[in-house]
Amino acid sequence: MSRNGVIGGFGLSMGYTLLYLSLIVIIPLSTILLSAMSMSWSDFIATVLDKRALLSYKVTLLASLAAAAVNLFIGFLTAWVLTRYDFYGKSIINAAVDLPFALPTAVAGITLTALYAENGWVGSILAKYGIKVVFTQTGITLALIFITFPFVVRAVQPALEELEAELEEAAESLGASKFQTLTKVILPLISPSLITGFALAFARGLGEYGSVIFISGNMPFKTEITPLLIITKLEQFNYAAANALALVTLLTAFAVLFLLGMLKKYIRREL
């Protein structure tokens, strides 16, 4: 049984939704496909499977996956602290979580580079142990961790707030340890939110540019990310090649979001 709610009927609401979605999302994205299709098939394959492009995919994918995985753990822990404990300064920490959303990514990149450079506050300490961050894959991952951190926290936090405390109390009363309660009760119930946070963080990492270009060093075949290669093609006025690379990135993000969405749907059906 459908609920019309207070905003018009289905036809009117759906019409406005499709209009907005078309003007803001579908039509702009379709131009990427149309531009890429202006190339011959052989030129398209040569562009997207070029050695430099393939290595940029590898750098971008590995860094995005690593950053999303790290934030999956740290984001869950942060959301747990914010929802389960009351402490002095909680509102400040809660607001600070969203700072990466507000901070210009280029500023974040410059700050991280200065901090983790070999003569920086943190980088000078790491250098004593032979650890180099700036101009490495580690630096790229660090920048993406900073940028994508809020996505996991804000996806998991509402799920933890809605989780009834009685479920944990019931598990403990049945003899479950804290670890068993976490792994058998809490995590399965909030797993859809964890998947959502991971997917958003990963997709955001694929397209990140500003915070990465400073700390990566932009070395072709080593630390060059796909968004930078796209910008390089645009600066060379090779718009078709730029859109071809953008199409690969777009399809990769869509595929990951779709698959994780199907997984989330399956988990919810099983709960």
- Distances, alpha carbon 32 to alpha carbons 18, 35, 54, 239, 243, in Å: 20, 5, 20, 10, 5
40-270 CATH, one of 3.30.1360.120, 3.40.50.920, 2.60.40.10, 1.10.3720.10:
1.10.3720.10
CA 244 – CA 232 distance, rounded (Å): 13
Question: Which pLDDT belongs to residue 1?
Answer: 47
Q: Which residues of the chain have pLDDT under 50?
A: 1
| Residue 151, token pair as written in the block | 């996505």
Give the residue ranges of DSSP H helices in the chain.
10-21, 27-37, 41-48, 51-84, 90-96, 99-102, 105-116, 123-127, 137-162, 165-173, 178-181, 187-207, 210-216, 226-235, 239-270
For the chain, domain boundaries: 1-37, 40-270
Q: What is the pLDDT of residues 64-105, one digit of tens each?
A: 999 999 999 999 999 999 998 898 989 999 999 999 988 888
Question: What pLDDT score does 3 carry?
Answer: 59
pLDDT on residue 70 = 97
DSSP symbol at 136: S
